[in-house]
A and B are shown apart, each in its own frame.
Chain A
Amino acid sequence: MIKKIESKNFDIKDSHVLKIAKKNGRYSSIEKLFSMTPEAVLDEVDKSGLRGKGGGGAPAGAKWRLIPNPSEKPTYLIVNADESEPGTFKDRQILEYDPHLLLEGIICSSYAIKSNHAYIYIRGEYVFWAKRLQVAIDEAYAAGIFGDKVLGYDYRLDVTLHRGAGAYICGEKSALVESLEGKRGHPRLKPKQKEPEWFFGCPSVVNNVETISSVPYIIKEGFEAYRAYGTEKSPGTMLFGLSGHIQNPGVYELEFGTNMLEFINQIGGGVKDGKKLKALIPGGSSSHILKADELEGITLDYESLRAHGSSMGTGGMILMDEDVFMPKVVKNLFEFYHHESCGQCTPCREGVGWSDKLLGKILDGNGTKKDLDTLLSLSFLLNGKTICVFAPSVAYIIDSYIGKFKDEFYSLVK
């Protein structure tokens, strides 16, 4: 069930130190990388079926192909390490235990899109991880891995670490780029047709830490080796998180297509303190909640979760035991979203606050049935009327959490 590709070195002592990382295979894909053309690297990643592991699940190769080739302007790789989705704590494992895996991935990916400068945008709270990553970057510069030449090959690459400062929305790729440009983290309007992101008007790719960290294996071992794991449409592996009421919380690398309940029970050790499972959120708080009796037969891949009415998201599962009172959970999430709305679009800025307020009133025992109906109707006002998918996430919470646990909510109102 557990298949360690990205997490291969996590258990090795001092695996974050360059010398030890190198001894354990880091930067071993570089020789093969430079024997290939950028086009061939793109092909390899395309064929591997690698999908973005930050939540969206978009094919990485297709995203890279949005960069004009040749490009008149410089191109940039921007790595999204703004890990802030509730229930998600996987990227920090890579940054903590194997930062050189990410840096190796950055070389492979930058080469494919012909970029000479990569930026890593890390959330402000991750001070320890930013320090660790900066040490790894400095070590790499000193060892001739970055700079004018990459390990002696005629290719220039710089890597710059950029710290965020506490804004969930900067995990949204266009907000991230805005923030990197020194502005407020406001998501940008989406173009009609697919386009790259534009960093100061230059075509750029934004990918999650884990996505980039998956690339070295694909280059070194070939796309077929990667496809040997997972399913046809969700190939490879992913770092899954378990948190909340689970006996063994943590991050585990699994093949896509692993049975969800087997994972929870065999590796996660089941629900904490032997209690019964009430519900779980499969991929960070922005995915639809699933009741315990809906989990039968679900496998951990994009298609299965979608077929069961939820989504893969970031793979960060939050479990809730039988004693959890769902209105409290929803209030907690509303407070999160209310706090984190960037304030750009009125339906989101006002609607999320309104939802939070209404539910607060209901939880205080002052709510009426009409308040609850108003709350349910807000889902319509939040969904599909804003620039980014933040407000729709709140709409999903209203629909799925309240929809599936109606009795608990109606028991609170007169």
Chain B
Amino acid sequence: MSFEFSKENEQKFQELLTRYPKKDSLMLPSLWMIQHQESWISSVAMEYLAKRLDTSPMNVYSVASFYTMFHLEPIAKYNIQVCKTLSCMLRGSEDIKQHIENKLGIKAGESTKDMRFTITEVECLGSCGTAPCVCINDDYIQNTTPQIVDKILDGLK
């Protein structure tokens, strides 16, 4: 197994080098690029990044593991993130979570066997005025109802 930036990401990396006083700042942008390229961040990719940033693999791992949005293990195709924080809870996020769990036959924190869906409970998505909020991969679904969830999940390939 090996890893290197795609041509497009390499170009982006070079461009970003000109935008920060030190290349240390490229840590988060680079981790994002790796995750977009591979859908998760492997230890091989972290070793690669360490070399590119003149730091230790351990340091890359230390940073990557701090941020909840970086996946250090392979993840399902669709990551269904249900916001559980107060405003969403008051507006029925528990029912939404229950509904998705029943529909997919898994609990929050688990993935379906075919690795199509993962359910994750997440903290405040900043969508309190349009609660409850569910985020599938990058897309927010606001004012969620069980019917909306059904429609969207059934439409996913």
Contact = CB atoms under 8 A, between A and B. Distances in A.
Interface of A: 74, 83-89, 92, 117, 123-128, 158, 160, 162-168, 179-185, 199-200, 202, 241-245, 249-251, 281, 285, 316, 318, 320, 324, 329, 332-333, 335-336, 339-340, 342
Interface stretch (B6-14, B106-114, B122-130): B122-130
Contacts of B139: 127-128
Interface of B: 19-22, 24-29, 31-32, 53, 62-63, 66-70, 84-87, 89-91, 122-131, 135, 138-140
B25 A244 contact: no
B128 A165 contact: no
A167 B67 contact: yes
A325 to B, nearest CB: 11
A89 B127 CA distance: 6
Contacts of B53: 182
A87 B130 CA distance: 11
A163 B140 contact: no
A200 B21 contact: yes
Contacts of B20: 160
Nearest to B125: A125
B90 A324 contact: yes
B134 to A, nearest CB: 12
Contacts of B27: 182-183
Given A182-B24, A249-B130, A340-B123, A163 B29 contact: yes
B61 to A, nearest CB: 11
Contacts of B89: 329, 332
A244 B138 contact: no
Given A160-B20, A244-B90, A336-B85, A167 B66 contact: yes
Given A124-B69, A165-B67, A180 B123 contact: no
A163 B138 CA distance: 13
Given A168-B123, A243-B129, A336-B124, A202 B21 contact: yes
Nearest to A74: B21
Given A86-B124, A165-B68, A243 B28 contact: no
Contacts of A339: 123
Contacts of A160: 19-20
Most buried by A among B25, B127, B135, B139: B25
A316 B66 CA distance: 27
A162 B90 contact: no
B31 A165 contact: yes
Given A84-B126, A165-B69, A182 B28 contact: yes
B67 A332 contact: no
Contacts of A124: 67, 69
A243 B127 CA distance: 9
A165 B85 contact: no
A265 to B, nearest CB: 18
B129 A250 contact: yes
A182 B24 CA distance: 5
Contacts of A158: 19
A74 B21 CA distance: 10
Contacts of B87: 86-87, 243-244, 318
A316 B124 CA distance: 13
Contacts of A336: 85-86, 123-124
A168 B53 CA distance: 25
Contacts of A335: 84, 123
Contact of B68 (A85, A167, A179, A183): A167
Given A165-B28, A243-B128, A243-B131, 19 more contacts: A86-B85, A92-B126, A125-B69, A163-B28, A164-B28, A181-B24, A182-B25, A183-B24, A184-B62, A185-B66, A243-B87, A243-B129, A245-B90, A249-B128, A249-B130, A318-B87, A332-B85, A336-B86, A336-B123
A276 to B, nearest CB: 15
21 contacts: A74-B21, A84-B123, A86-B124, A89-B126, A89-B129, A160-B19, A163-B29, A164-B28, A165-B31, A166-B122, A167-B67, A168-B123, A182-B27, A182-B28, A184-B62, A184-B66, A185-B66, A249-B129, A318-B90, A320-B90, A324-B90
